[in-house]
Every structure is written in structure tokens, then in C-alpha cells.
Structure 1
Amino acid sequence: TSSSDPHVKFHTQCTLFAPHPQLYDDIAPLTAANFRFLAQGTKITPAINRPLTFCGSFFHRVIRNFMVQGGDITHFNGLGGYSIYGRLFKDENFAVLHDRAYLLSMANAGPHTNSSQFFITTKPCPHLNGKHVVFGEVCGGHHVVDYMQNVPTDTLFRPRQPLLVQECGLLSD
């Protein structure tokens, strides 16, 4: 990735410090653009009649030593999502492997079912290669991701404490 790839700010209620995702615009431009617009909250779609934004959504699924998942901007519980391209969009490519922790990757329900849901890996996950599009990485704030992956969960991996996205957007240069 190039040093000009945009960084996004993401503040959660679990800490004052935030993970800082860097997006791979040069590798997965459509997927990175979807995430960036959802972080900025500047696009409104008639389908849900409000801004499409991660703000107010939750990290709804946490599996220790695997990943933390969020981005359901419609139902806020893992059952929904919406992209800037419509409800779903196609897998862009599988050029980046899930070979380390702190990668940003699209959550999906099978081929070409990307929306707004994403996850952050907390270890290498080679079983996800060829199934989920990696579109960025968390460059700063690893301790926040580590904290989130260790919160208590129920048997369905839902956090027992809310992991709310309070603020998000682009970092200022």
C-alpha cells in the first residue's frame, strides 16, 4: 500500500483511544471507498432514509483469538447492513491474504454479499483466504482491538457490554 492511502478514525466507547484503519485504495478501491463513505456518513440513500454511517453502530460479534465484527448500520445486531452501492456489492478481489492480525476484511454471507459489515482479524486466518476481501489494516490502536476481543461474550459471541462506535470519519492531515 502507498503512504497516501487514507486513514480513518474510529472512536468506540470502550476507550478514549481509537483504532486507526488504513485503507488499501490501490488494491481494493471499491471496498475501501465503501468503508470510507460509511465512516464519513456523508451518503444518504432513499432505501433507509438516513445517512449511511458506522456512527451509532456496534461491534456485535467478538470471537477471541479470531476477530471482532461490526458494521451493521441498519439493524445494529449483525442481521443487517447496506453499502454505498446498494444493499450488496460484489467481491472485488482476494489479493491480500489473511496472514496477520489487525486486517480489515469484509464480512459476508457467501460470494458477492458484501454490505457494510466488516471484521478486524486478531490473528492470521488463512481459512478466510478467497472468501473475504481484505481492504485495509489497523495501523494504530491495536490495544483497542485487543481489548475488544477480550470482552466477555454470550454463547453466540455477542459482547455482554456494548461496543458502540461513537464517532468516525477521516483523520485530518
Structure 2
Amino acid sequence: MLFHRVIKNFVVQAGNSQRVEAAEDWMLDVKPQNELMSTKHGAFMLGTSKDIYANKGLDLFITTAPIPDLNDKLVVFGQVIKGEDVVQEIEEVDTDKLYQLKSPIGIVNVSLRRQR
């Protein structure tokens, strides 16, 4: 899954517009009572659009700072617990004036763990 937007001190965004089931795969076991399911966007939170079906795919947002503007617009379903330095490196890549990456960078492997 390639990153397609990087806005320093805001968010890095990846996505796959061809596979709505990708979002379902990621969020399948997330329950509303999970404390990560919130509208508060601190740094290194993972989120996606509240309406995955409207987007016809998965948009994955990783915040790089607390972002109150995203409250109530995205649903948080996870948090980066290892690799914050990698997110910060992605944040430093060259982008054009529309915040699109000049070189391809993507997610190859992700491990999801349930908080206990």
C-alpha cells in the first residue's frame, strides 16, 4: 500500500482505492468499546474515514501530531507502538506542492495487536 500524501506535522496518508475489503480486513475485530476507537487524534494514531464505503477503498491516516481538526471526521482504530521513527522519516520525504511524494514509499508489512 503506497503513501500518496505527506503533510509535515499533520498526517501521512496511504490507501488502496481498489479494495474496500482491505478496510474491512483491518477493522474486522475492532469493537466500539475498544478505547482506541475514538475521535481524538493524538500523534501516531491510525485512522480511516468514518464511511469506508463512500471512499470505495481504504484510506489509512497516520497522524504525526495531535490534530483536533480530524476529530469527528476519522475513526481511530489503532496506534503506532513501534516504528514512530519510521513514520517521522516518511514525514521528511520530498513532496510536491500538493503534498504528493516524489518517490514511492509504501507499507510492506503490518502487525496488528489487540491491546489487553
TM-score, normalisation: structure 2: 0.72
Post-superposition offset of 1:159: 0.8
Match of 2:2 among 58, 81, 87: 58
Tell me, in whole angstroms, the C-alpha distance in 2 between the residues paired with 1:169 and 1:136. Answer: 11
What residue number does 1:139 align with?
81
* Number of residue equivalences: 101
Q: Over the residues paired in the alignment, what is the CA RMSD in angstroms?
A: 2.7
Tell me, in whole angstroms, the C-alpha distance in 2 between the residues paired with 1:155 and 1:118. Answer: 21
Unaligned runs of 5+ in 2: 25-30
Greater C-alpha Rg: 1
Post-superposition offset of 1:118: 1.1
TM-score, normalisation: structure 1: 0.50
**Residues 9-24 of structure 1 aligned to structure 2 (within 5 Å):** none
State the AA in 1 paired with 2:54: T
Tell me, in whole angstroms, the C-alpha distance in 1 between the residues paired with 2:112 and 2:84. Answer: 18
Tell me, in whole angstroms, the C-alpha distance in 2 between the residues paired with 1:116 and 1:137. Answer: 17
Q: 1:162 to 1:116 in 2, by over 3 A?
A: same
Q: 1:103 to 1:169 in 2, by over 3 A?
A: closer
Unaligned runs of 5+ in 1: 1-56, 75-80, 86-91
- SS state of the match for residue 47, structure 2? strand
Match of 1:113 among 7, 30, 54: 54
* Structure with the larger helix share: 2
- SS state of the match for residue 119, structure 1? strand
Q: Percent identity?
A: 37
What residue number does 1:83 align with?
21
- SS state of the match for residue 133, structure 1? strand
Q: Kindly report structure 1 stretches of 4+ aligned residues shifted beyond 6 Å.
A: none
